């Protein structure tokens, strides 16, 4: 199961493009609402109906947790105490963690990027404490995949898919959607 953590202000492309790619690769994905309802509003006003409320997720079946960016979305994820529980569980159990745009700052502020190569939206590097900051669009290091922003959403999705599924399936999906 791949859980996409959705807070008001999320960047729509950074959540929905990777979600679509992973689903096309045959992976089970769920959008998780960090709001008081199952409707989450993106940074451009697009409303998305989440599959689950935050209180309903079962991390014991998680293969991956994804944190989309967006300035306000990242802040809302960062300040929610459940984010710490999710990240602690993911790190303790070596579950894949994906973070794009401003969201890698959530990992950096908590010390999870010490010695890890990572990238983020320009200007957020100062929050990647201890990371080997890269200028690449997408960086994979162990069980952490980070990406620069909305323009890298497809590459981010392909990187997640290759890690979770295989490169052959990922390439087949890539060819079909081009």
CA distance 134 to 87: 22
In a domain, 61, yes or no: yes
Report pLDDT for 133: 98
Which residues touch 155 (CB under 8 Å, ≥6 apart)?
A: 137, 138, 147
CATH of the domain at 129: 3.40.50.880
In a domain, 55, yes or no: yes
In a domain, 50, yes or no: yes
Which residues touch 18 (CB under 8 Å, ≥6 apart)?
A: 4, 66, 98, 100, 153, 156, 157, 160
In a domain, 178, yes or no: no
Characterize 128-138 residue by residue with b for buried, 16 or more Cβ atoms within 10 angstroms of its Cβ, and e for exposed. Answer: beebebbeebb
* Greatest CA separation for the chain: 40
Report pLDDT for 28: 98
Task: Give 106's Cβ-side CA count (13 Å radius).
Answer: 34
Report pLDDT for 60: 96
pTM recorded for the entire structure = 0.97
Specify the DSSP class assigned to residue 121. S
Specify the DSSP class assigned to residue 125. G
CA distances to 40, 80, 93 from 146, rounded to whole Å, are: 23, 20, 19
Count the residues in the chain.
Answer: 178
What are the 10-residue block averages of pLDDT along the chain, 178 residues in total? 98 98 98 97 98 96 97 97 97 98 98 98 97 98 98 98 96 94
Tell me which residue range forms the domain holding 124.
Answer: 2-171
What's the 3-state SS for 50-90? Answer: CCEEHHHCCHHHCCEEEECCCHHHHHHHHCCHHHHHHHHHH
In a domain, 176, yes or no: no
User: How many domains, in total, are found in the chain?
Assistant: 1
CA distance 123 to 72: 15
In a domain, 177, yes or no: no
In a domain, 153, yes or no: yes
In a domain, 141, yes or no: yes
């Amino acid at each position: 199961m791949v859980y996409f953590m959705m807070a008001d202000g999320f960047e729509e492309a950074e959540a929905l493009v990777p979600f679509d790619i992973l689903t096309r690769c045959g992976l089970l994905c769920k959008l998780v609402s960090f709001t008081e309802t199952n409707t989450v509003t993106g940074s451009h006003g697009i409303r998305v109906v989440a599959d689950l409320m935050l209180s309903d997720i079962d991390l014991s079946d998680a293969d991956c947790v994804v944190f989309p960016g967006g300035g306000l979305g990242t802040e809302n994820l960062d300040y929610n105490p459940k984010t710490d529980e999710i990240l602690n569980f993911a790190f303790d159990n070596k579950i894949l963690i994906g973070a794009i745009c401003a969201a890698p700052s959530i990992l950096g502020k908590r010390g999870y990027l010490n010695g890890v190569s990572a990238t983020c939206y320009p200007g957020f590097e100062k929050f990647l404490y201890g990371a080997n900051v890269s200028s690449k669009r997408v960086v994979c290091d162990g069980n952490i995949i980070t990406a620069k922003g909305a323009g890298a959403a497809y590459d981010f999705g392909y990187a997640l898919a290759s890690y979770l599924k295989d490169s052959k399936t990922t390439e087949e999906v890539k060819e079909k959607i081009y």
